[in-house]
Amino acid sequence: MNFTNDLIESLIKADKIAVLTGAGMSAESGIKTFRDPDGLWAKLNPEELASIEGFMRNPETVWNWYNERRKVIAMANPNEGHIALAKMETLYSNFTLITQNIDRLHQAAGSKNVLELHGNIVENHCLRCKKPYLEDIDINSKILPVCPLCGGKIRPSVVWFGEQLPQNTLFEAEKATEECQVFLSIGTSTEVYPAAALPYIAKNNGAVVIEINPRMTSFSNEASFVLNGTAATVLPELVKSIAGKKNK
């Protein structure tokens, strides 16, 4: 993929970079996205699954949906896009990776400064007393674990619809977005708020906003540059184009 000179120039000149990733970032690691035609929610209703009401109505169904996703994630590896972002982070003194994903593939690829807006699928806690649940999870069991301290239902430590995002994480993400000179929005349909507000905040604060997505999104017309391609193909080429010219 050819990148325009002004896109490359903006990345070389920048000191502060912020990146937002969504489910499309992990698509080439074999993890389905949410809203693509073959996505996780094509057959299911998100409010039924990724919401507190859905969990209260059908705790076993929701717990087993997460266990199914845990099985897929356990076999997934970071793709070339995750690896490229980890390399990109080493080129800048101020690089913030904000993710909506819960699969921890950015950390597995070596990214250090990662802000998980929607929690992660590894950790669990008690619905009632909120204490972390540290026992191992049997992802093949259909039985919903209960809290050894209070008997409450155990839930994944992800942020569900209608739930607040971790406030300090969101604050850090918004601060990095407001301060960056270049913002990359990668593999997200830009539909879920408040994460979806970040590219607009970056743009309104004068940043160059680069969208990387094989499809157009509701943000595409606002982006400074739209790179119509996948994370695992575009990012390695983008990082290669700046690595020789960029030092901290």
Q: Which of 230, 236, 238, 242 binds ligand BV8 (CB under 6 A)?
A: 230
Among ligand BV8, Zn ion, none, residue 33 binds (CB under 5-8 Å by kind) = ligand BV8
**How many of the chain's residues bind ligand BV8 (CB under 6 A)?**
35
| Beta carbon nearer to ligand BV8, 41 or 241 | 41
Tell me, residue by residue from 93 to 122, as one string, x for binding to ligand BV8 by CB under 6 A and - for no binding.
-------xxx---------------x----
Give the separation between CA 144 and CA 87, rounded to whole angstroms.
39
Q: How big is the chain by its Cα radius of gyration, in Å?
A: 19
Tell me how far, at minimum, the Cβ of 53 lies from ligand BV8, in Å. 11
- Scan residues 159-188 and list those touching ligand BV8 (CB under 6 A): 159-164, 187-188
125 assigned to active site:
no
Q: Which of 10, 34, 109, 208 binds ligand BV8 (CB under 6 A)?
A: 34
Q: Tokens 């389905």 belong to which residue? A: 32
Phi-psi region of 130 (alpha: psi -120 to 50; beta: other; left: phi over 0): left
Using CB under 6 A as the binding rule, whether residue 29 contacts ligand BV8 is answered as no
E-assigned strand segments in the chain: 16-21, 94-99, 114-116, 119-126, 154-158, 182-186, 208-212, 225-227
Using CB under 6 A as the binding rule, whether residue 236 contacts ligand BV8 is answered as no
DSSP secondary structure, 16-81, as one string: EEEEEE-GGGGGGGT---SSSTTSTTSSS-HHHHSBHHHHHH-HHHHHHHHHHHHHHHHT----HH
* Binding interface with ligand BV8 (CB under 6 A): 22-24, 27-28, 33-36, 39, 50, 100-102, 118, 158-164, 187-189, 191-194, 213-215, 217, 230-231
Could you list the active site residues?
A: 118
